[in-house]
Structure 1
Amino acid sequence: MGAMSIRRSLSPLHAECEALIWAMECMKTLQISEVVFATDCSQLVKMVSTLTELSAFTTHMEEFLRCKEFFLNFTIQHIPRAQNTLADKLARSARTSPSAMVYVDYVPPRWLSDQEPS
């Protein structure tokens, strides 16, 4: 979410949901209809997998379902943060970066591949 430079969300789960929808929109724009989305937020995986009815997320879920129709097979999986230290480091760097950064592709940029996880 830090890379998107958007407004603050109501809660961390709202931010995770907005980030997923943004990633889905990016994949649609790139015409990539077969993708596996991964997150360290187990609540998000549960919410979109079971389509839990939470009134605070009605708008988000409507947008999610609209985006989901594009994908041939929609898959989302939970990867604990401890098992994905490089993504965690990237997210922390984006939050502290003074400028916006957006990168959407299936090939990681060279500068990211060269970094060591901390």
Structure 2
Amino acid sequence: MNRIRPTTFETVEDDPLADLAQIEPVPVRQIPASDKVRKIADEAGFTARHGKAERDVEEQAQATFDARSLRKTGRSSQLNIAIKPGTKDRFWSFAIEQGFVAGEDALLALLDSAER
């Protein structure tokens, strides 16, 4: 490995940067006014990227349907609530005493009794 390293300031033949006159600046792209863009988009039939507020909840749920979240029990939603540890113990004690396997079944029984 007896390769000779070139010095930093040594002149190189066929240097592409030797003649900088051939380099031209890139023109700045003009950005059109947003109201003009909105008008053109409306005429062309484009819609906004965000959904409309009046969109039905069921349509929104269908749009975000993900089959991986489904279970064979049919439960596809989750309810998370912040409770004290004692309340959680009390809930599961109630569920076990009543013979419920799933927390949803115990919750439904409590809701049914509260609605009577």
Q: Higher helix share goes to which structure? A: 1
More strand by share: 1
TM-score normalised by structure 2 residue count? 0.22
| Structure (1 or 2) with the larger CA radius of gyration | 2
Output the TM-score relative to the length of structure 1. 0.21
